[in-house]
Amino acid sequence: MTVNGKRRSIIALSQSVADRIAAGEVVERPAAVVKELVENALDAGATRVTVVIEDAGRTLIKVVDDGIGMSGSDLAAAVGRHTTSKITRFEDLENLTTFGFRGEALPSVAAVSRLTILSRARGEEVGTELMIAGGRVEKCEPTAAPEGTSVSVGHLFYNVPARRKFLRQDSTEFKWIASVFKHFALAFPRVSWELYRNGEQLYQLPSGDDRDRLAGLFGDDVAEEMIEIDLQREWLRVRGWISPASLAQRSTSDQYLYVNKRQITSPRLNRAVYTACEPYYTSGGHPIYVIELEAAPDRFDINVHPAKKEVKFDDEKGVFSGLWSAVRGAISSNRAPRELARGRAQGETSGGKRVFSERSPVRAPAHLTPFVPIPRQYDAPRGAVLPFPADRKRTPDGAGAVKPPGQESGKPDRTLEAPVYDAGEGPTIWQLFDTYLISPLKTGLVIIDQHVAHERVLYERALAAIEREPWTSQQLLFPVSFNVSPEDVQIVEECLPLLRAMGFELETTGPREFKILSVPAGIQIASERDLLLGIVAEFKDTAATGSDARNRLAAAFACRGAVKAGQPLETVEMQRLIDELFQTEDPEFCPHGRPIYHVINKREIDKWFRR
């Protein structure tokens, strides 16, 4: 090649230069050194790890552990490049259970610092002290030492001034070191951890359970409100914690994602968490989360980047789906206002807490359907569902109260089979703007959108009728005819078998004309014609989503048949609607992905008044 117009010969770099160049890929900054040394301590089976930092790592980085230690011969070999006890052949990478495996960390650190290692193997009487400066061994001899290993990295980048020059301010460099420390401390709650900065102890975290560790790092108040995540799929388990919306943060600094306890960075998986949280974080902000994915080592590849933060899975969509479902299921279950969910089936429990399975009551919004295919099995209908009539009669005093369906004449309609509630049975419920149902909770206040709540009830009942047990039909005394456009005739004919299962009977009376002979029994409909035309229009509009025809038709019926915003309800109707809602599989969202209710935490209310 030529440099400045002159031909230069190709030469082999000296080992010293090559080592310092190679070290740059592994040792980016002091935080990277802390990461590598702590990983070695954990691989050695440490139950106690102490990290000591001076001048943000420029002067000293020291990691002390009580692991199995190293013999003198192992210690001398450990600082050689590509020497490791973790693997012996390339195929071992498919079943890797340790953090390190390349044999690059210690030699890389030794090449750009003054390194001192003091180690004593378990069962041996004497330890070994090894000192290296800039990659050259200066001392290696027996010495008295406790069991375990102590690694001291002094004057980092002393022989690479360009790298040392571009280190950030001490506050910034230490912030990254503290982040690495927290990542490991959260992943290993049963290991005791200590962190010192310039002689001051910042953290002392004794061994404990997961929530103890959350309290130690985030505080007791945050730990108490964190929501537990636990979902098991065929090959993937998702475990961890996530904050409710009341703990939304301004930054993303408190977000920790792991694969088999290894910290990773994945914008795609982070997006899965955010899309699962999105309906709840209506006021913005970022969640706190500590989430670990557990899978067999052969299901993912960590040998992608020198820092080992990027991971490739053999089933990327499956991981996205599992993570999304786990987060959504945990948050939705935690938010369910149990005071309103009288008699709701809570599913299997283990040790007093909800266990999420593959059939957890979670449904992905429409834009996630390709990534989150969740199979459904619906129970047979439990009785008639009653879309409230659009034409309501008010009481003579004009106070806004309304009579239940079928009671305008003063006689109860026995065909409705509606449950009768005593005023003292359930919680207090109010209707706001003839659109929202409001009820106080022990922990705050819940606001329910009556239209989307009824839409969820009708959707699940309609889909159950299509898939399991058809609704009984009720013949109309006077059949109703309606016409459709030529392009919609085929759509109506496609829907006929599904409509029949839902209790509708239609007859073709002309090229574009149909006659409604029967409707689902027990359903009061203001206009059969408008309802059918609305169902057809909604079904046609959702064709581009690619969803199953049964889902689309059930959603169309629910949207058109549900009680509308601005429609007044009596207390008995509000209570019945709430009870029906919390008997559904997914009381969180309507079939189109809109949230059904919102819980205002007492803590949020207190903030309004600066309590």
Phi-psi region of 407 (alpha: psi -120 to 50; beta: other; left: phi over 0): alpha
Query: Which of 191, 154, 155 has the alpha carbon at shortest distance from 39?
Result: 191
CA–CA separation, 381 and 427 (whole Å): 26
CB 261 within 8 Å of CB 249: no
pLDDT in tens, 347-399: 333 333 333 333 333 333 333 222 222 233 323 333 334 444 434 433 333 33
pLDDT in tens, 311-323: 888 888 899 999 9
The predicted pLDDT at position 19 comes to 56
By three-state DSSP, how is residue 145 classified? coil
Mind giving me the DSSP string for 54-81? EGGGTSEEEEEE-S----HHHHHHHTST
User: Rounded to an integer, what is the distance from CA 275 to the centroid of its chain?
Assistant: 8
DSSP state at residue 502: T
CA–CA separation, 62 and 79 (whole Å): 17
- Two tokens at 411? 């006689």
Query: Which of 458, 452, 421 has the alpha carbon at shortest distance from 435?
Result: 452
Would you tell me the crossing angle of helices 489-501 and 528-541 to the nearest 10 degrees?
A: 110
The predicted pLDDT at position 486 comes to 87
Which H or E run includes 329? Answer: helix 316-335
The predicted pLDDT at position 611 comes to 82
CA distances from 433 to 346, 437, 438, 599 (A): 32, 9, 11, 18
CB 390 within 8 Å of CB 568: no
- Two tokens at 425? 């049975």
CA–CA separation, 67 and 147 (whole Å): 7
CB 598 within 8 Å of CB 282: yes
CA–CA separation, 123 and 69 (whole Å): 10
The predicted pLDDT at position 196 comes to 97
The predicted pLDDT at position 347 comes to 39
Q: Which regions of the chain are under pLDDT 50?
A: 1-3, 13, 20-21, 23-24, 86-93, 101, 343-424
- Two tokens at 87? 């693997």
CB 540 within 8 Å of CB 549: no
> Where do the domains of the chain lie, and which CATH numbers do they carry?
15-208 (3.30.565.10), 211-339 (3.30.230.10), 430-600 (3.30.1370.100)
The predicted pLDDT at position 259 comes to 92
- Two tokens at 303? 């040998």
Query: Each residue of 44-64: b (16+ CB within 10 Å) or e?
Result: bebebbbbbbebbbbebbbbb
Phi-psi region of 351 (alpha: psi -120 to 50; beta: other; left: phi over 0): left
Would you tell me the crossing angle of helices 30-43 and 170-187 to the nearest 10 degrees?
A: 20
The predicted pLDDT at position 301 comes to 78
Mind giving me the DSSP string for 91-120? GGGGG--SS--SS-HHHHHHHTSEEEEEEE
Q: Would you say the pTM of this structure is higher than 0.75? A: no
Sign, CA torsion 528/531/533/535: negative
pLDDT in tens, 280-307: 776 678 999 999 999 988 888 776 555 5
The predicted pLDDT at position 400 comes to 35
**Which single residue is written with the structure tokens 């982070």?**
270
